[in-house]
């Protein structure tokens, strides 16, 4: 069993903690660190027998048993992660960054996790990146992708202060990862906060511009969807893959839906669930490497 800690007692950190605690993951949540003493996340952690601190990463390093922690999940913000990474740099700890800070290599479990198992820190890109980059990678595995554009539509209610504070980082980080991980020559990302009531679950649209209508595109996408769904059960295609002529090229259109598992967050918050599910998959694999 590998001891881990979660920094950030908001929605994402709390959902991740509960996912680790409720499953046979090979991980043990030794501590949760936050900065709001009244947060529901810290209160739940205490009730579940997890050591807590409201003094952030400095409080985490002062907790008894900190020396046994091998993996830290950072579910704060891009700005806060920069300081957290500096504080933890002297320690023998692997970091899984759920913010768009992107200090470590981008990791999307279904695409490139194996390549980065030796990295001290990995970055989980963004919720939109975790949902859409696998599709871009699937298309680029069978034919070159000159341009890829993704639109992530999430319920406004599921966008907390951290998400709203990181909108610019979301678009920039996701676009970079579409290229470096997805394999597109050029990428663009758009996020839409949908105010509809009742809230709609996460929807993602992926457009890829390719030269030829390769016959293997749809099958590659369907295989990739199955790989992601192995660790994000609510991840699915909304309709068959479309490949349509567009001038001298072809446009591949993929519509996705991500429904949350409802462990701590509502089912419509698939954007948060896919981040915690992907981070958990990474943590499980890193634990095998460090054991």
11 is in an annotated binding site: yes
CA distance linking residue 56 with residue 35, whole number of Å = 5
Peptide bond preceding 198 in cis form (omega within 30 of 0): yes
Contact indicator for 69, 59 with CB cutoff of 8 Å: no
Give yes or no: 127 in active site: yes
SS (H, E, C) the chain: CEEEEEECCCHHHHHHHHHHHHCCCCEEEEEEECCCCCCHHHHHHHHCCCEEECCHHHHHHHCCCHHHCCEEEECCCHHHHHHHHHHHCCCCCEEEECCCCCCCCECCHHHHHHHHCCCCEEECCCHHHHHHHHHHHHHHCCCCEEEEEEEEEEEHHHCCHHHHHCHHHHHHHHHHHHHHCCCCCCEEEEEEEECCCCCCCEEEEEEEEECCCCCCHHHHHHHHHHHHHCCCCCEEECCCCEEEEECCEEEEEEEEEECCCCCCCCCCCHHHHHHHHHHHHHHHHHHHHHC
166 among annotated binding-site residues: yes
Determine whether the annotation assigns residue 162 to a binding site. Answer: yes
Which of 45, 127, 138, 152 is labelled catalytic?
127
163 in a known ligand binding site: yes
Is 104 annotated among the ligand-binding residues?
no
- The answer to whether 226 is annotated as binding is no
Does 12 carry a binding-site annotation? yes
User: Is 10 annotated as ligand-binding?
Assistant: yes
Please, which residues have CB within 8 angstroms of residue 8's CB and are 6 or more apart in sequence?
A: 33, 34, 41, 73, 74, 75, 76, 80, 98, 162
Task: Name the residues annotated as catalytic.
Answer: 127
Annotated binding site: 9-12, 158-166, 271
Binding residues for NAD(+): 9-12, 158-166, 271
């Amino acid at each position: 069993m590998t001891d881990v800690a979660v920094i950030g007692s908001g929605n994402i950190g709390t959902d991740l903690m509960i996912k680790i605690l409720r499953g046979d993951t090979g991980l043990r949540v030794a501590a949760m660190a936050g900065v709001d003493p009244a947060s529901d996340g810290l209160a739940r952690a205490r009730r579940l027998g997890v050591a807590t601190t409201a003094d952030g990463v400095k409080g985490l390093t002062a907790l008894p048993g900190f020396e046994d922690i091998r993996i830290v999940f950072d579910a704060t913000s891009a700005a806060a992660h920069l300081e957290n990474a500096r504080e933890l740099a002297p320690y023998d700890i692997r970091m899984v960054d759920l913010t768009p800070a992107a200090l470590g290599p981008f990791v999307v479990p279904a695409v490139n996790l194996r390549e980065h198992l030796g990295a001290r820190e990995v970055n989980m890109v963004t919720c939109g990146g975790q949902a859409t980059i696998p599709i871009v990678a699937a298309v680029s595995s069978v034919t070159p992708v000159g341009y890829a554009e993704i639109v992530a539509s999430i319920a406004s209610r599921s966008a907390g202060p951290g998400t709203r504070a990181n909108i610019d980082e979301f678009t920039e980080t996701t676009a970079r990862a579409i290229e470096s991980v997805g394999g597109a020559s050029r990428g663009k990302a758009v996020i839409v906060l949908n105010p509809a009531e009742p809230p709609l679950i996460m929807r993602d649209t992926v457009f890829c511009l390719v030269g030829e209508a390769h016959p293997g595109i749809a099958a590659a996408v369907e295989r990739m969807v199955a790989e992601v769904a192995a660790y994000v059960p609510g991840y699915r295609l909304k309709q068959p893959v479309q490949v349509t002529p567009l001038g001298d090229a072809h446009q591949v259109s993929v519509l996705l839906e991500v429904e949350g598992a409802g462990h701590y967050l509502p089912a419509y918050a698939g954007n948060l669930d896919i981040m915690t599910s992907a981070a958990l998959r990474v943590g499980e694999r890193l634990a095998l490497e460090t054991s």
